[in-house]
Amino acid sequence: MLRIPLLLCFVFSVIFAFGQKRYSISGTVKDNTTGETLIGASVRIKEIPQGGTSTNSYGFYSVSAPDGDYTLLYSYLGYETVSRQVSIHKSQVIDIRITPNSSLKEVVISANKPNNDQISSPQMGLEKLNMAQINAVPVVFGEKDVLKTITLMPGVKSGGEGNTGFYVRGGASDQNLILLDEAPVYNASHLFGFFSTFNSDAIKDVSIYKGGMPAEYGGRLSSVLDIKMFDGNTEKFTVQGGLGLIASRLKVEGPIDNGKGSYMVSARRTYIDLFTKASKDSTVKGSSLYFYDVNAKANYHFDSNNAIFFSGYFGKDVIALKNTFGTNWGNTTGTVRFNHVFSPTLFSNTSLIYSNYNYVVQSFQTDNSFKATSKITDLNLKEDFQWSASDDHRVKFGFNVIHHNIEPGNISSDADNVNDINVQKRNGYEDAIYVSDEWKASSKLTILYGLRLSGFSLVGPGTIDTYNTAGEVTDTKTYSSGQTVKSYYYLEPRFSAGYQLNDENSIKVSYNRNTQNIHLLSNSTTSSPTDLYVMSSNNIKPEIADQVSTGYFKNFSDNKFEFSAEVYYKWLQNQIDYKDGAQLIANQDVESQLVYGSGRAYGLELFLKKKYGKFNGWVGYTLSKTEDKFAAINNGNYFPARQDRTHDVSVVGIYQYNKRWSFSSAFIYGTGNAVTYPTGKYSTGGLTTFSYSGRNGFREPATNRLDVGATLEGKEHKKYHSSWTFSIYNIYGSREPYSITFRDSKTVANTTEAVETSIFATPIPSVTWNFKF
């Protein structure tokens, strides 16, 4: 943080002498009907084609022009383009409201050429998801889901049915930074990955960075999934919700103080347990199986330069079996943000962020009762500045301090069968300062370059062991509160450049380095809520990833279609795996159970998207390879990571048939997971036991599935609106293998067999009724 003055010097040094006197036009772009600010809306000056920009996360924009008369064009996908004549003789604030197109009108190509951001921006590896499309994609049980839709993008792979994680460009699932209104969400899944923690009613905007990570993001290697919640309707009080097969949703929103502010509260809960409560079986009756989550947000604009935002998320999963055990886990996040516009060209945001993930496992058995808990808590101060230094330079800089506290495991027992255990808490600080500049070097060439200095310190109190590679303690030291155990500093260069060949074609290159200091340890092949988070330490070095990528981007038919082809190569250092028989739960010596290695991932991603129109959707294809290398595994040779997927295809189509009916479908095909199958068998301890050679040398069968959906909009009513969503998941009943296990045959004596388990091997229909008034 002491380096901030230095940073500012650097920032100012990138400023070039201004020629002509220029004036700023700044303001916010909002939805005309709800007052929601629009993120990423395009703002252009017709007379200065290079001088365009887009609104930031708070809907704020700033452009500049010399003295004169201009036409400002405001556009956003799914909205009418607005043009505004202005005479500019001084800096001024122009707040604009734009109106959504009715869906059928979208067919008409607006007179003004729509946004060609993909071509003009140097950013690559970025997928912006359109909420309208997310809401249209059919999903299991009809619970529309941001995370499920994201896995339909090239380069993003789902962990499979019933798996928590998603994998970006070969990275592990803990290498994704998942932000909900800037607060990191540690476990983004409900019920072991069937649903994500993101209730799409509450979500305004979703972007995922697969590469070319801008300097303002850091802390994870593979991706940034940036999710923004709705601010709430500033115009009127509205209620909307839905009744689905397994869950219900309700959202209320409305203005505060005549639209100076607004609030939004959105909640959802499953109700399978209402049926179990009615069961005659007393065990079933006394058992629980549900999740719920609540998103809440409020904002208040003191004046056009100052605004405050509060957002919070609380979610929990509960599973319990009567007289046997209970487990629950959940995330809590809270963010307070303060926007301040210092000048029309300098925008700032200060965030204070709280994030917590915890789990509890309880045994209710009389002779073996105990309670095990674990949690991770972050407190985070973040300061971001956006400075439109000139039309050619848009500068971002800021800093970030995070305090992490991990309670790896506490076990307590009322009965006298288990010893109480409190594994030492760990504290750490993760700091970063960054600066980046988007420089329009010429009318063709734009360069986005930046630098992020990230630091991590593990601090006391605590007694810290140092382990050798055999996992034996070589040194033990006790540290007092706040005393530094180990610090790491890394400079992370971020660079992207886009060269626009013409209005419809561009090529881009990027390089970025990312480091990661929070690591998820999981000793099962699929993640579980009891997976353990650890920090970098004297034993665990920060993970490092370097990624280079290049791509060709093309828009055609008046930007109606977007095509991109990107190739990437990623080097991974200090990757973590565990030893055989590793015991991770409530283990004081957990760091003795780890081994370290490296990895590499490379691939090609092709993406063709039709952004709007009566028929829209996309086709994605990924060809990739992801390999790990650990000295102790596979004789020290590279082996395919479990999530290595050679081929991956996704096709999404959405068709607006008429005003009332729309149809959608999603198809996926992918190479199966890399897995370890037996290469022989022998007998040990009286049991048939399998022998193995090498890690992940086999493939599960390829997966493929088609889901279809339809939405019926209710007849127009003055007071309310309703709609029905129908979907069939896995319409042709494809068996996606969840696991393949090997055992003694149940039918033929003295032989062995392979058994495939699948979760949804039959079509799963669902229906949801949605309302709004």
Partner 1 sequence: MKTIQSYISLSIILLFATACTKVVDIKVGNDTGRLDIEANVTNTSLPQVIRLSKNVPFTDTNTYPAVTGATVSVTDQSGQVYPFVEGPTGTYTSNSLTGVAGNTYKMTVLTNGNTYNASSVMPAQVMLDTLTSQNTPTPGSDNKKEISVHYHDPIGVDNHYRFVLWVNGVQERVVFAADDQFNDGKDVSVILRQDDVDIHAGDKAVVEMQCLDQPIYLYWFTLSQQSADGPGGSVTPSDPPTNISPVSLGYFSAHTTQTKSIIVK
**Interface with partner 1, residue 697, by CB under 8 A:** yes
Which range, of 339-347, 422-430, 593-601, 682-690, touches partner 1 by CB under 8 A?
682-690
Stretch 527-566: interaction string toward partner 1, x if CB under 8 A: -xxx------------------------------------
> At a CB cut-off of 8 Å and minimum separation 6, what does 369 contact?
362, 363, 413, 414, 415, 417, 418
Binding-residue total with partner 1 (CB under 8 A): 87
User: What is the phi/psi pair of residue 133, to 5°?
Assistant: -70, -40
Q: Any contact of residue 689 with partner 1 (CB under 8 A)? A: yes
Give the single-character DSSP code of 541: P
Q: What would the x/- binding string for partner 1 be over residues 44 to 83, using CB under 8 A?
A: ----------------------------------------
H or E segment to which residue 135 belongs: helix 131-136
E strand spans, 322-442: 325-343, 346-363, 370-388, 393-412, 421-422, 426-440
Contact track, partner 1, 269-288, x by CB under 8 A: ------------x-xx--x-
Task: Examine residue 759 and tell whether it contacts partner 1 (CB under 8 A).
Answer: yes
Stretch that binds partner 1, among 65-73, 83-91, 254-262, 672-680 (CB under 8 A): 672-680
Q: Is 245 in the site for partner 1 (CB under 8 A)?
A: no
Is there binding between residue 678 and partner 1 (CB under 8 A)? yes
Given 20, 303, 687, 716, the residue binding partner 1 (CB under 8 A)? 687
Q: Does 469 bind partner 1 (CB under 8 A)?
A: no
The residue among 191 and 567 lying less far from partner 1, judged by its C-beta, is: 191
- As a whole number of Å, the CA-based R_g of the chain is 27
Of 152-171, binders to partner 1 (CB under 8 A) are 162
Considering the rule CB under 8 A, would residue 414 count as an interface residue with partner 1?
A: no
For residues 186-225, which are near partner 1 according to CB under 8 A?
A: 191-192, 194
Q: Which of 317, 392, 325, 414 is nearest to 358 (CA)?
A: 317
Binding test (CB under 8 A) with partner 1, winner from 681, 732, 765, 773: 681
Count CB-CB contacts under 10 A for residue 333.
25
Closer Cβ to partner 1, 271 or 569, answer by number? 271
Residues between 577 and 606 with contacts to partner 1, criterion CB under 8 A: 580-581, 583, 585-587
DSSP 75-87: E-TTB--EEEEEE
Longest dimension (CA), the chain: 92
> Could you tell me the CA-to-CA distances from 688 to 663, 682, 711, 746 in Å, in that order?
52, 6, 53, 13
Residue choice 379, 740, 763, 771 for contact with partner 1 (CB under 8 A)? 740
User: Which one of 96, 153, 372, 435 is in contact with partner 1 (CB under 8 A)?
Assistant: 372
**CA distances (Å), 32 to each of 234, 378, 485, 613, 772, in order?**
10, 37, 54, 22, 18
Tell me the C-alpha distance between 182 and 311, whole Å: 10
Q: Is 410 in the site for partner 1 (CB under 8 A)?
A: no
147 binds partner 1 (CB under 8 A): no
Tokens of 282: 């007393």
239 binds partner 1 (CB under 8 A): no
Please tell me whether residue 408 binds partner 1 under the rule CB under 8 A: no
Write the binding mask 601 to 640 for partner 1: x where contact by CB under 8 A, - elsewhere: --------------------------------x-------
- Does 685 contact partner 1 by CB under 8 A? yes
Which of the 8 DSSP states describes residue 172? -
Distance of alpha carbon 264 from the chain centroid:
21
Are the CB atoms for 144 and 518 separated by under 8 Å? no
Of 71, 83, 525, 557, which lies in the binding site for partner 1, with binding defined by CB under 8 A? 525
Pick from 478, 743, 765, 773 the residue near partner 1 by CB under 8 A: 743
Residue 284, H or E segment: helix 282-285
Query: What CA–CA distance (Å, rounded) separates 90 from 23?
Result: 6
**Token pair recorded at residue 358:** 């915890």
Choices 21-29, 105-113, 322-330, 377-385; region in contact with partner 1 by CB under 8 A: 322-330
Please list every residue from 339 through 368 that binds partner 1, using CB under 8 A: 361, 363, 365, 367-368
Q: Does 416 participate in binding partner 1 (rule CB under 8 A)?
A: yes
- Using the rule CB under 8 A, give the single segment among 96-104, 474-482, 659-667, 741-749 that binds partner 1: 741-749
* Candidate segments 13-21, 398-406, 720-728, 738-746, binder of partner 1 by CB under 8 A: 738-746
Would you give the distance in Å from CA 226 to the centre of its chain? 6
Indicate whether 763 belongs to the interface with partner 1 (CB under 8 A). no
Name the DSSP letter for residue 37: B
DSSP for 633-689, please give it. Answer: SGGG--EE-TT--SEEEEEEEEEE-SSSEEEEEEEEEEPPPEE---SEEEEETTEEE
